[in-house]
Chains A and B, each alone.
Chain A
Amino acid sequence: MTEEVGGMHFSVIVFPGSNCDRDCHHVVGNVLGAPVDYVRHTAQDLPETDCVILPGGFAYGDYLRAGAVAAHTPVMDAVREFALRGGLVLGICNGFQVLCEAGILPGALMVNSHLRFSCHDCWVRVEDIDTPFTRQCEVGQVLRLPIAHHQGNYRPNLNGERGRVLMRYCGPEGESDPRHNPNGSWDGIAALSNDAGNVMGMMPHPERCAEAVLGETDGAYIFRSIVKGYREAGNRAIRRG
């Protein structure tokens, strides 16, 4: 997947108990080949960065509601401010949950309709390619991506901002079918952005399928999109630092 990253700089946020932070760091740093820093939950400011990744897994054990404690850490104030200024923020799985809990993305993620943790590959259909995270895809393209979560059942904010649906769960041919909705998510939502499109939350894990040795490689589309957009914008993403 090695891409010309054009000087783009990434940050991976680490909360106590984060466990996909190292996976994201590996894919960005070693597969994409971009400079990447870990940023701890206590940080008041972000380092110089073009894209912030909130990794998946768990944070603070998630004994309460997934993401509820992490959303109130000092670094999330910095992430919120970065997002408001148009900075790119990608929340994966637990990162999506944290973004919703922090009010940076609308809606909430409830416990899966079947009440169990669930880890397997699924298919998603790309609905909107006019964002920095999906611009390398085509509308209607089907991606095979793995999920691993207990709380991925998305519920919208009925009286306010709805955001933009970027991906929906589907069958292998892209067909909408409740049998292929792995968690009961409303409207089959798998990935969502804010109205501006600079903050995306997604339940599937693109970092788990970006290398051929692990089988599937569709996750690379997300990372390639981010880098391509940055290059096309003349290396002028919103930058902190």
Chain B
Amino acid sequence: MQSGEDERITTPWEDVGLSRSEYHRVCEDLDRRPNPLELGLYGLMWSEHCSYKSSRRHLEQLPTEAPYVLQGPGENAGVIDLGEGLALAFRIESHNHPSAIEPVQGAATGVGGILRDIFTVGARPIALLDSLRFGDPGDPRTRYLFEGVVSGISFYGNCVGVPTVGGEIYFDEAYRENPLVNVMCLGLAPKDRLVRGRASGAGNPVFIVGARTGRDGIHGASLLASREFDEETESMRPAVQVGDPFREKLLIEACMQLTGSDAVVGVNDLGAAGLTSAASETASRAGMGMEIDVTRVPLREEGMTPYEVMLSESQERMLVIAHRGREGEVEDIFDRWELEAARIGEVTSDGQLRILEDGTEVASIPALSLTEGAPAYDRPMRSPAPDPGFHAGEIPEPQDLNRVLLQMLSHPNLCSRREVYEQYDHMVGINTAMNPGADAAVLRVRGSGQGIAVAVDGNGMLCHLDPRRGAMNVVAESYRNLSAVGARPLAVTNCLNFASPEKPEVMYRFAEVVAGMGEACQALGTPVTGGNVSFYNETGGREIYPTPVIGMVGLLEDVSRCVPPGFAADGDAVLLLGGGTGSLGGSQYLNIVAGKVAGPVPTVDFAAERVAGKACRVGIARGWIRSAHDVSDGGLAVALAEAACLSPSQLGAKIELQAGERADEILFGEGGPRYLVSAAPESLEALLERSRELGCPLDVIGEVGGSFLRVATGQRRIDIPVADLVEAREGGLQ
């Protein structure tokens, strides 16, 4: 980008964000020099954001297959088979850079974009989740970003009528300049109605439908999302698009009708890189070409050049490829929903993406060269200095454990998220069987009696300390969240948020995270069906933590069996399922109370994870377990406090834990497959016996009852009225 004061001369490739060697490669592919329009299209499609050029080779190692996976990476969304003739489509995507400079619209259009990825494949969106990261909430600018992002998600999601059913939020100085906004969407489709993003059949007509094309969002993918931030970034606000959820809602209904007809060949949303990406990807997936006349694209403003039309990232648009002779049906459907559908070209057999301006060719590029032909790099990697870890002796044991627990519960990273999720309509669609605030959201599947469970999880702090092990913990955490509501984990979508891949240390952590995630997903039987990579999350050399976020989906055979995290009834036994103790390395206790970010990060024992997950799911399916909550951030003490706060009548409990060397480690240590469950006395014997058969440790640690949470370990005690715990938890985000 050239600014007024900076008069240095730039080369044509630098203007579009490419390197000299990439420019040479373009010339080779074309067998000539590209004209400025063609170079612009390459700049966009070969940007980091669109081409995954730094990440592709690593991502290829992830496990992607299972008998129930219908569609894996490379398509608009991952799709799995739920049985009963139903398919579940899901994907997560980032909208970090736009949200950093315009939080409301950045987040809103992030929601709009991920919705289109789902209904593009013919699935009706049924739920949204968000994973968010910000700096210190006490900082005014962070407050502006945080409130803006939440109101953007609320504005778009509520209006479009898709419930926001869950998510996670963490605050850390590492995200001060570069907040993270990752949005996940799930959709349901009859299996026989799935549509692919393919432009097959030479001569088939190509339509652009939905909103008109304007000058908004030009260079969003290449120059905004594929560079680190500097002083000029603020001036790029015009590269952020503006969302129109009303039009998106109409587009959803029209596309549902369209994909229900057999007039359609393929559908693709217009997201990052707009028409250029949709046209070249649909053509190259089908091994075909496409001819588009930009003068036929309905425009929002006059005088747009072919370059601007092809690069525009105006929202709420789709590309539709219909069967020849069925054009009238497509036009009628969009007419009914008061949307425009313009025929802009047709599928060709020569593999070329050809752009015309009023009939005259202005660009011609092999479609494959723009997509699969993009460069892929093995970027240099260097291991950063390992985390030295902490020594127990550095941290004095706290005298007042009550005070520590209240301090932790009221911390922005651990407190209740009610203030946020109550701004989201989490019920519209009337499928939400488990509301936000639980370990995982659960949606009933109408007709089949099944339930879909979903959770999003990430942990940048652990991945900063030990990227490989950190990523394993992230996958294990999602696995536990799903098992805690009684769902069998099935598959994963991931969003990998990192700093600049041009830094060897960042690239090393990226590779380690992908390796750890791959190993964990393989071991836990949850293939990765797609996702998104977001690099360049840094400002002035200040990097975010390496932050992989995963969305995991699972299935309950009987949705009416799912259990909440809060204690259910007076007199129920409280048990620790999965056994073991936690450790303080990488824990929220160390972070919040001792102000230390230090390892060692807990190891993950996959065999033990599978056994504990199964024991929990079986106990829930049989109706023995009445509440379940995985022990994660803040350890056992925080899990107990949450189970009390979340119980419908705020029931307390009396708990006796084994004494250890350090009470704080017993109470606040994290890691391991541990579930806090409660069971009615009459179910206890059966539950214990079944767990023994499965080889899963299960210990009675106390009893539900009273209005106090009382926890003893050796001579040390926590003794607090549940009402005080609730008060501490509810005020944390204000």
The answer to whether B244 has its CB under 8 Å from any CB of chain A is yes
The answer to whether A74 has its CB under 8 Å from any CB of chain B is no
The answer to whether A72 has its CB under 8 Å from any CB of chain B is no
The answer to whether B588 has its CB under 8 Å from any CB of chain A is no
Residues of chain A contacted by B425 (CB below 8 angstroms): 117, 119, 148
What is the minimal beta-carbon distance from A109 to any residue of chain B, in angstroms? 16
Given contacts A27-B430, A208-B430, A213-B433, contact A58 B161 (CB under 8 A): yes
B427 lies within 8 A of A61 (CB) = no
B158 lies within 8 A of A17 (CB) = no
The answer to whether B699 has its CB under 8 Å from any CB of chain A is no
Q: Mark A191-221, 1 if CB is under 8 A from B, else 0.
A: 0000000000000010110011111000000
Nearest CB to that of B250 among chain A residues? A16
A63 lies within 8 A of B246 (CB) = yes
Residues of chain A contacted by B311 (CB below 8 angstroms): none
The answer to whether B305 has its CB under 8 Å from any CB of chain A is no
Given contacts A20-B161, A119-B426, contact A61 B246 (CB under 8 A): yes
Within 399-449 of B, Cβ neighbours of A (below 8 Å) are at 421-430, 432-433, 435, 444, 446
Given contacts A58-B246, A61-B246, A63-B246, contact A117 B423 (CB under 8 A): yes
A214 lies within 8 A of B430 (CB) = yes
Residues of chain B contacted by A106 (CB below 8 angstroms): none
The answer to whether B13 has its CB under 8 Å from any CB of chain A is no
The answer to whether B11 has its CB under 8 Å from any CB of chain A is no
The answer to whether B154 has its CB under 8 Å from any CB of chain A is yes
Within 114-135 of A, Cβ neighbours of B (below 8 Å) are at 116-120
**A212 vs B558: C-alpha distance when bound (angstroms):** 13
**A16 vs B337: C-alpha distance when bound (angstroms):** 8
Count B interface residues, CB 8 Å.
Answer: 30
The DSSP consensus for interface residues of chain A is: mixed
The answer to whether B641 has its CB under 8 Å from any CB of chain A is no
The answer to whether A146 has its CB under 8 Å from any CB of chain B is yes
Residues of chain B contacted by A60 (CB below 8 angstroms): 246
**A208 vs B429: C-alpha distance when bound (angstroms):** 8
Residues of chain A contacted by B244 (CB below 8 angstroms): 61
Residues of chain B contacted by A30 (CB below 8 angstroms): 446
The answer to whether A67 has its CB under 8 Å from any CB of chain B is no
Residues of chain A contacted by B423 (CB below 8 angstroms): 116-119
Nearest CB to that of B162 among chain A residues? A19
What is the minimal beta-carbon distance from B39 to any residue of chain A, in angstroms? 38
B422 lies within 8 A of A17 (CB) = no
The answer to whether B160 has its CB under 8 Å from any CB of chain A is yes
Residues of chain B contacted by A61 (CB below 8 angstroms): 159, 244-247, 249
Within 158-174 of B, Cβ neighbours of A (below 8 Å) are at 158-161
Nearest CB to that of A20 among chain B residues? B428
The answer to whether B387 has its CB under 8 Å from any CB of chain A is no
A17 lies within 8 A of B249 (CB) = yes
Residues of chain B contacted by A118 (CB below 8 angstroms): 422-423
Q: Mark B215-226, 1 if CB is under 8 A from A, else 0.
A: 000000000000
A214 lies within 8 A of B433 (CB) = yes
**A16 vs B247: C-alpha distance when bound (angstroms):** 9
**A207 vs B429: C-alpha distance when bound (angstroms):** 10
B427 lies within 8 A of A148 (CB) = yes
A58 lies within 8 A of B433 (CB) = no
Could you list 5 further interchain pairs (A-B, Cβ under 8 angstroms) beyond the known A17-B249, A19-B249, A26-B430?
A17-B159, A117-B424, A150-B158, A211-B430, A214-B432
Q: A-side interface residues toward B, CB under 8 Å? A: 16-17, 19-20, 22-23, 26-27, 30, 57-58, 60-63, 116-120, 146, 148, 150, 205, 207-208, 211-215
Can you pick out 25 interface pairs between chain A and chain B where the beta carbons lie within 8 Å of each other? A16-B337, A16-B338, A17-B246, A17-B250, A19-B428, A22-B429, A57-B161, A58-B158, A58-B246, A61-B244, A61-B249, A62-B159, A117-B423, A117-B425, A118-B423, A119-B424, A119-B427, A146-B427, A148-B427, A150-B158, A208-B430, A211-B430, A213-B433, A214-B430, A215-B433
